A and B are shown apart, each in its own frame.
Chain A
Amino acid sequence: MCLGIPGEVIEFLPDQPDLARVDVSGVRRVINVGLLSDDPPKPGEWVLIHVGFALSKIDEDEAAAALEFLEGIGQAYEEELMALQESMIE
């Protein structure tokens, strides 16, 4: 729950500017980017996702490091990723 998962923004959903499709370790899911409305991410940029919400923008290097870290912690990340895969907020 507290893990921040890096995702790459692919596109925004038409008519729903708060929702964006992101790529997380090859899995595409819709997340809410409303908390970044002061400085919205663009497609191709990376965000740190907490429980379905992008909480901060990060650069690609930080995303790679965060992902490597998460993969290293094993089970907790796998569970979080599985939960994210099942999440269908749109």
Chain B
Amino acid sequence: MRFVDEFRNADQAHALSAKIAGLCEPGRHYKFMEVCGGHTHTIYKHGLEDYLPESVELVHGPGCPVCVIPMGRVDDAMHLAANPAVIMTSFGDMMRVPGSNGSFFDAKAQGTDIRMVYSPLDSLKIARQNPDKRVVFMAIGFETTAPSTAMTVLRAAAEGLENFSIFCNHVTIVPAIKAILDSPDLRLDGFIGPGHVSTVIGCRPYEFIARDYGKPVVVAGFEPLDILQSIYMLMLQLSEGRSAVENQYTRVVPWDGNLVALKAIGETMELRPYFEWRGLGFISHSALRMRADYARFDAELLFDVPGVRVADPKACQCGEVLKGVLKPWECKVFGTACTPETPIGTCMVSPEGACAAYYNFGRLSRKRVKEVSNS
């Protein structure tokens, strides 16, 4: 496992750390957002903040698909699931997300037919096996999972399956990044671009960030050294006065993305005029719905969905955490009323949520210790 050791090599990490420190201008504070929840997980798990100079700060972005689902959509899904004709199917990550009246797990415990699946193709199989039931798949995720939903719908169409539909909550990452760039709350110096999403969409969609906002973007892998290397690449661009989109994760991410996946999405889904994101509010053209040609697979059209907007619990500050304005531990209920066992907000539910990642791994990091000693 030499290669793996190479990734983990502490010497390399320290060397990168020194190179990053060498590029820091005295008196300047650098703020980079890692958009993807997978990166947040790596950063806390490996204590990467401890490898960075004090003046380099990482803020956590909105790239956790479970975290950004607003409570109203959870309630809509619960309403769908309560229909006795329906078998609701969902990824495991979604099962514990609280709606106004509990989570999928709670409803399941009370006898509602909600089944956890690994793949939308598992839902399709459940539909084939239960012709007298109507099987709904709770579709969530960014462009990483949208192609899977699209391919599953195409398959259902090819098979002529009539008892299968999608409750589509797929979101797109670029409008969320734009909303953050346009928000007055936060001044960022650059972005660590999402790895897996970029496998699908490629690197081109980020070019406006470099061109129109003058911020560098580096698409990064998930190993600790990938992230340190990406921060170094960001710092190098800043020190040279450049802003460009660069790809650190060329091992996996092609510059143009996966064209088959993009075609499948484009064939079956279209952009919604707007969609509500938890914490970020309504964002134009930021989510997907089924195209009219595939309306027979759209649970929102097949069933009566309340579509009521529900405000987040008052105590919960997931919105501020998702925007990067608050650190997880700055939330009033972090680690006290809100824990991974009894989450109040979505950021504590998913292992990719900033709060859960921080709760599980980050509590002893340098910055936290400093915060506590200063308070």
Tell me, yes or no, whether A15 is within 8 Å of chain B by CB: no
Segment 79-95 of B: residues with Cβ below 8 Å from A = 91-93
- Take A2-B65, A58-B251, A58-B252 as given contacts and tell me if A87 and B122 are in contact as well, using a CB distance cutoff of 8 Å: yes
How far is B252's CA from A19's CA once the two chains are assembled, in angstroms? 21
Proximity string of chain A (43-80) to chain B, C-beta cutoff 8 Å, 1 when within and 0 when not: 00000101111011011011011101100110110011
Whether B119 contacts A48 by the Cβ 8 Å rule is no
- Take A50-B148, A52-B148, A87-B122 as given contacts and tell me if A1 and B92 are in contact as well, using a CB distance cutoff of 8 Å: yes
Whether A51 contacts B148 by the Cβ 8 Å rule is yes
Whether A64 contacts B1 by the Cβ 8 Å rule is yes
Whether B252 contacts A48 by the Cβ 8 Å rule is yes
How far is B126's CA from A86's CA once the two chains are assembled, in angstroms? 13
Which chain A positions have C-beta within 8 A of B141? 1-2, 51
* Total B residues in contact with A, Cβ cutoff 8 Å: 48
Tell me, yes or no, whether B223 is within 8 Å of chain A by CB: yes
Partner of A73, one of B41, B91, B117, B251: B41
CB distance from B232 to the nearest CB of A (A): 19
Which chain B positions have C-beta within 8 A of A76? 41, 351
Tell me, yes or no, whether B369 is within 8 Å of chain A by CB: no
Whether B223 contacts A53 by the Cβ 8 Å rule is no
Whether B145 contacts A1 by the Cβ 8 Å rule is yes
Tell me, yes or no, whether B7 is within 8 Å of chain A by CB: yes
Whether B151 contacts A35 by the Cβ 8 Å rule is yes
Residue of A nearest to B351 (CB): A76
- Take A2-B37, A2-B352, A55-B147 as given contacts and tell me if A65 and B261 are in contact as well, using a CB distance cutoff of 8 Å: no
Whether B258 contacts A56 by the Cβ 8 Å rule is yes
Which chain B positions have C-beta within 8 A of A69? 7, 42, 222-223
Residue of B nearest to A89 (CB): B121
How far is B258's CA from A53's CA once the two chains are assembled, in angstroms? 13
Tell me, yes or no, whether A3 is within 8 Å of chain B by CB: yes
Whether A53 contacts B196 by the Cβ 8 Å rule is no
Whether B119 contacts A37 by the Cβ 8 Å rule is no
Tell me, yes or no, whether B303 is within 8 Å of chain A by CB: no
Whether A52 contacts B121 by the Cβ 8 Å rule is yes
- Take A73-B45, A76-B351 as given contacts and tell me if A65 and B119 are in contact as well, using a CB distance cutoff of 8 Å: no
Proximity string of chain A (17-55) to chain B, C-beta cutoff 8 Å, 1 when within and 0 when not: 000000000000000101111100000000010111101
Tell me, yes or no, whether B308 is within 8 Å of chain A by CB: no
- Take A1-B145, A2-B65, A88-B125 as given contacts and tell me if A51 and B252 are in contact as well, using a CB distance cutoff of 8 Å: no
Tell me, yes or no, whether B274 is within 8 Å of chain A by CB: no
How far is B41's CA from A84's CA once the two chains are assembled, in angstroms? 21
Which chain B positions have C-beta within 8 A of A38? 259-260
Whether B251 contacts A59 by the Cβ 8 Å rule is yes
Partner of A2, one of B42, B122, B144: B144
Can you show 17 pairs from A to B with CB atoms below 8 A apart? A1-B92, A1-B93, A32-B148, A50-B196, A52-B120, A53-B148, A55-B144, A55-B200, A55-B258, A56-B258, A59-B251, A65-B7, A66-B222, A69-B222, A73-B45, A86-B118, A87-B117
Using A1-B93, A58-B252, A87-B119 as known contacts, list a sample of 6 further A-B pairs with CB atoms less than 8 Å apart, ordered by residue number in A: A1-B92, A1-B145, A34-B151, A59-B251, A64-B3, A83-B118
